[in-house]
């Protein structure tokens, strides 16, 4: 078995070292004998949605984000929408999460149109929501670090998790991130998957199932090192 991971605009969208999420996916797949090919997608490249199994969509500075958004709108927005709607696995972090939505309103009141692939929207705040965060994702305590000025509102869509400690989407409604089919959106950095290997395995399983049909459960890995690190963070956060 093999998986193709597409890293969207790695030279523009790697503000918080989120390439670590790809390294975790690759490592955990390889430990189970699954071959992984990482494809770096940049401005002007062809997005092969039919032969892509996992997409990584990170965040960046405002200028870089504007370049990315225009390239997507000009050339591949239809392919991205089809990929998501047909159950393609996608992890969107921070700016990538915001961009998938309908729009972003700056603190000055300027409305910037997003990709509109998903139905959420974001409003810029005067202060940043910063700090360690713990989130309940279907009974699993996911941990990470958030740093965002945007307040995201997802309406009746499904949050990725429920905030245990921290701010989450907007610091108001108790939700963190967004889950739509096999698209995972979150504000958790860290990188997200290095701190939460269970979610990494969920993504690998979903990608394999989409590509190969029903598969047996993934072979368990020795996660004592990761579990020990998680226990330290949970103790530090008192969760």
The terminus-to-terminus CA distance of the chain in angstroms comes to 38
pLDDT digits (tens, 9 = 90+) for 24-61: 999 999 999 999 999 999 999 999 999 999 999 999 88
Exactly one of 6, 7, 94, 120 is catalytic; name it.
94
Exactly one of 7, 120, 148, 189 is catalytic; name it.
189
Domain 2-237 indexed as CATH 3.40.50.880: yes
Every domain of the chain and the residues it spans = 2-237
| CB 90, CB 115: distance < 8 Å | no
120 an active-site residue? no
94 an active-site residue? yes
Under DSSP, the state recorded for 158 is: B
pLDDT at 190: 85
What does pTM read for this prediction? 0.96
- Single out the residue of 112, 123, 57 nearest to residue 84, CA to CA: 57
pLDDT at 232 over 90: yes
Interval 152-178 mean pLDDT: 98
């Amino acid at each position: 078995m093999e998986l193709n991971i597409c890293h969207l605009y790695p030279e523009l969208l790697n503000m918080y070292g989120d390439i670590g999420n790809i390294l975790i996916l690759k490592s955990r797949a390889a430990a189970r004998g699954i071959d992984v090919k990482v494809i770096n997608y940049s401005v002007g490249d062809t997005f092969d949605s039919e032969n892509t199994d996992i997409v990584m969509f990170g965040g960046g500075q405002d200028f870089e984000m504007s370049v990315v958004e225009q390239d997507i709108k000009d050339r591949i927005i239809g392919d991205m929408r089809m990929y998501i709607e047909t159950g393609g696995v996608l992890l969107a972090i921070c700016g990538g999460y915001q961009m998938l939505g309908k729009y972003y309103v700056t603190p000055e009141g300027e409305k910037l149109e997003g990709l509109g692939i998903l139905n959420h929207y974001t409003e810029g705040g005067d202060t940043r929501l910063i700090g360690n965060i713990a989130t309940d994702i279907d009974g699993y305590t996911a941990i990470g670090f958030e740093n965002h000025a945007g307040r995201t509102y997802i309406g009746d869509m499904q949050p990725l998790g429920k905030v245990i400690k921290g701010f989450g989407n907007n610091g108001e409604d108790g939700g963190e991130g967004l889950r739509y089919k096999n698209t995972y959106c979150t504000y958790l950095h860290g990188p997200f998957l290095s701190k939460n290997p269970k979610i990494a395995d969920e993504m690998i399983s979903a990608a394999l199932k989409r590509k190969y049909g029903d598969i047996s459960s993934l072979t368990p890995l020795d996660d004592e090192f990761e579990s020990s690190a998680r226990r330290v963070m949970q103790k530090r956060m008192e969760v």
